[in-house]
């Protein structure tokens, strides 16, 4: 039992310690606002794409590819969005509903997810396939709920076009596609050490920048939607989809990817998108902060449960 607990703590504690370090660095002015912004941009545009490219380029994609698993990730995400949409009508303030909905389902799949998978297996595991199934839907649904939440008019065509272009040009998606293509080409690796150096920066830099981005002075005045969305994000959807994933025969890396998709905290980009589309952002900020802090405990408990059941 102790060995199982240590196994789980080894996967989660380093993640959150790096975030705490980032927060400390920001408070002590080691990280400035401009530096934090630059690191976030570098991690998203370079380090994370290189990381998923490397993991896919050096494995047998034909062997790990699983249409059923990708479909499961897509359908579970879609169902989570619809559940969040239904529950959002419990709140009278209509401007709160879109922030609540995206806060329920948008996970830190790339950054935190890859970090946990790497701690457990030494690579991104099945996280790239989960990203293919879920992340494009994350973005499309977020734009849809945020845009329609402010108006009864139809979606702005320019906004829809911008979103679709954003998905196609998403650096992480591009890294995944290039990694798949590269794995199918039987030639010697090109600049392997350079790729390894860049990919190794993704997790530590990204997590510290994430911690540095937190603003705990942000007042969480909308506690009901914030706590409800946090519960769904960390507990509710995980309790719903993990048993189904197990029933479908998913174990090990696939089950970890499902846990990351359903039980990791809400991504910071949900707050950024809400603000950019004219929302107050208080609910989004509250969900991001509370889900991130509490996930240190919930993710460890979920991993421990899966470990003692022999599923990972």
DSSP string, 73-129: HHHHHHHHHHHHHHHHTTSS-TTHHHHHHHHHH-B-TTHHHHHHHHHHHSS-TTHHH
Q: Is residue 214 part of a domain?
A: no
Q: Is residue 290 part of a domain?
A: yes
CB neighbours of 302 closer than 8 A, spacing ≥ 6? 238, 242, 259, 263
Task: Tell me what pLDDT residue 237 has.
Answer: 95
Give the domain range for residue 196.
Answer: 2-209+220-308
Task: Tell me what pLDDT residue 80 has.
Answer: 95
Q: Is residue 201 part of a domain?
A: yes
Q: Is residue 176 part of a domain?
A: yes
CB neighbours of 26 closer than 8 A, spacing ≥ 6? 36, 211, 212, 213
Q: Is residue 215 part of a domain?
A: no
As a whole number of angstroms, the distance between CA 195 and CA 9 comes to 29
Task: Tell me what pLDDT residue 152 has.
Answer: 47
The segments of the chain whose pLDDT lies below 50 read 152, 219
Task: Tell me what pLDDT residue 244 has.
Answer: 95
Q: Is residue 236 part of a domain?
A: yes
Question: b/e string for 2-15 if b means 16 or more Cβ within 10 A?
Answer: eebeebbeebbebb
Neighbours of 120 (CB within 10 A): 20
As a whole number of angstroms, the distance between CA 292 and CA 268 comes to 10
- The pTM of this model reads 0.77
Q: Is residue 56 part of a domain?
A: yes
The answer to whether the CB of 233 falls within 8 A of the CB of 266 is yes
Q: Is residue 268 part of a domain?
A: yes
Q: Structural domain tally of the chain?
A: 1
Query: Which CATH number fits the domain that encloses residue 127?
Result: 1.20.1530
């Amino acid at each position: 039992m102790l060995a199982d607990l240590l196994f789980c703590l080894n996967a989660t504690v380093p993640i959150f310690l790096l975030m705490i370090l980032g927060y400390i660095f920001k408070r002590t002015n080691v990280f400035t606002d401009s530096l934090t912004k630059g690191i976030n941009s570098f991690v998203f545009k370079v380090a994370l794409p290189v990381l998923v490219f490397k993991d896919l380029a050096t494995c047998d994609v034909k062997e790990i590819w699983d249409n059923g698993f990708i479909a499961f990730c897509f359908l579970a995400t879609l169902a989570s969005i619809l559940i969040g949409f239904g529950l959002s009508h419990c709140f009278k303030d209509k401007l709160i509903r879109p922030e609540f909905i995206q806060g329920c389902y948008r996970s830190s799949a790339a950054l935190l997810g890859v970090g946990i998978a790497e701690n457990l297996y030494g690579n991104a595991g099945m996280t790239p396939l989960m990203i293919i199934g879920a992340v494009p839907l994350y973005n499309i649904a977020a734009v849809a709920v945020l845009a329609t939440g402010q108006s009864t008019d139809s979606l702005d065509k320019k906004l829809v076009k911008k979103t679709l272009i954003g998905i196609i040009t998403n650096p992480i998606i591009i890294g995944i596609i290039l990694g798949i293509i590269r794995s199918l080409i039987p030639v010697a690796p090109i600049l392997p050490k350079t790729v390894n150096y860049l990919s190794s920066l993704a997790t530590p830099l990204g997590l510290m920048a994430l911690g540095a981005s937190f603003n705990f002075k942000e007042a969480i005045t909308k506690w009901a939607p914030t706590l409800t969305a946090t519960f769904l994000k960390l507990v509710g959807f995980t309790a719903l989809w993990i048993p189904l994933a197990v029933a479908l025969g998913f174990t090990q890396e696939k089950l970890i990817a499902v846990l990351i998709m359903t039980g990791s905290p809400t991504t910071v980009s949900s707050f950024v998108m809400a603000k950019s589309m004219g929302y107050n952002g208080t609910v989004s900020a509250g969900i991001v902060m509370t889900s991130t802090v509490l996930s240190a405990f919930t993710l460890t408990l979920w991993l421990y449960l899966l470990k003692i059941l022999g599923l990972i």
